[in-house]
Amino acid sequence: MKIIMLGAPGAGKGTQAKMIAETYKLPHVSTGDIFRANIKNNTELGKEAKTYMDKGELVPDELTVRILLDRVAQDDCKNGYVLDGFPRTIPQAEVLDSELDKLGEKVDFAIDVEVPDENIVRRMSGRRACLKCGATYHIVHIPPKKEGICDACGSELVQRDDDKEETVKNRLSVYHQQTQPLIDFYDNKGVLKTVDGTKDSAEVFEDIKRILG
Ligand code: ADP
Ligand code: ADP
Ligand code: ZN
């Protein structure tokens, strides 16, 4: 099963993708996590990606596509995956499509997690992230068991550099311009499913399970 998570930054794509990955035994592939791991390890890729991420802009398609195709070519992705944060532009979606086409495969579900912009800005200020395992928390809505520490791996939680209010606003405008058109793209392919992301995260996941079966 190949699943794509769509939605604005902070809509809850990562939170839901983690739950889907655990329940359906699929790898969770997040381009944002891959970039952040590279930034943490000070790689060339990390240095390049950071210049865009810090401004709330998208990393160029060419670089992003290369990273993503490398990742999904790995063995654990053979039986499918949950893509979180990719594709984010029509050209990215087209490359994915044509690569899958070559393999006689396709995207099974594109799940759009809908949350209005005004909720997003509030949500992002409370987001805390684990840069080691990619888990995310919210200081009010989804707090870790121990303040500042990741439940999953015990690492310290941080506020992401790009979760500052000004950067979030820019990311939202980039989302509306470049990523939102993917909703029609996948609707036209007949694989779009929409969920109400303003509900409690457990309820959102129940809705997703009903969709995936
Ligand atoms: P969020 O969880 O808020 O949606 P991500 O962790 O998915 O954010 O992405 C963080 C940043 O990484 C983005 O703002 C962008 O700069 C970069 N990025 C991640 N995925 C992509 C992509 N598919 N194309 C271009 N840039 C990306
Ligand atoms: P995305 O991957 O779409 O950027 P995240 O999954 O990181 O979004 O969620 C953004 C923030 O909102 C995090 O702090 C997360 O803990 C919190 N969050 C996720 N889902 C919900 C929800 N349904 N209700 C309230 N807060 C949520
Ligand atoms: Zn962790």
Contact 124/10 with Cβ under 8 angstroms?
Answer: yes
Q: State residue 122's pLDDT score.
A: 87
Query: Domain locations in the chain?
Result: 2-116+164-212
CA distance 85 to 125: 19
**Ligand 3 mean position, distance from CA 149 (Å):** 8
List, as one string, the DSSP characters of 122-174.
HHHHTEEE-TTT--EEETTTB--SSTTB-TTT-PBPB--GGGSHHHHHHHHHH
Residue 192's DSSP bridge partners are 110
Helix/strand/coil for 111: strand
**Ligand 1 mean position, distance from CA 88 (Å):** 8
Is residue 134 left, alpha or beta, with left meaning phi > 0 and alpha meaning psi from -120 to 50? Answer: left
Domain 2-116+164-212 sits in CATH at 3.40.50.300
What is the residue with the minimal CA distance to atom 18 of ligand 2? 12
The first and second tokens of residue 171, run together, are 């990311």
Sign of CA dihedral 34, 37, 160, 60: negative
Neighbours of 38 (CB within 10 A): 18
Neighbours of 69 (CB within 10 A): 12
pTM: predicted TM-score of the whole model, two decimal places: 0.95
Output the furthest CA–CA distance in the chain (Å, rounded). Answer: 47
> Residue 46, class by beta-carbon neighbours within 10 Å (0-12 exposed, 13-18 middle, 19+ buried)?
middle
Is residue 201 left, alpha or beta, with left meaning phi > 0 and alpha meaning psi from -120 to 50? Answer: alpha
160 is catalytic: yes
CA distance 133 to 186: 29
Looking up tokens 């790689």, which residue turns up? 43
Q: State residue 199's pLDDT score.
A: 97
Q: What atom in ligand 1 is closest to the CA of residue 11?
A: 4
The first and second tokens of residue 40, run together, are 């943490």
Residue ranges in the chain modelled with pLDDT below 50: none
Helix/strand/coil for 196: strand
Ligand 2 within 6 A of 137 CB?
yes
Contact 30/84 with Cβ under 8 angstroms?
Answer: yes
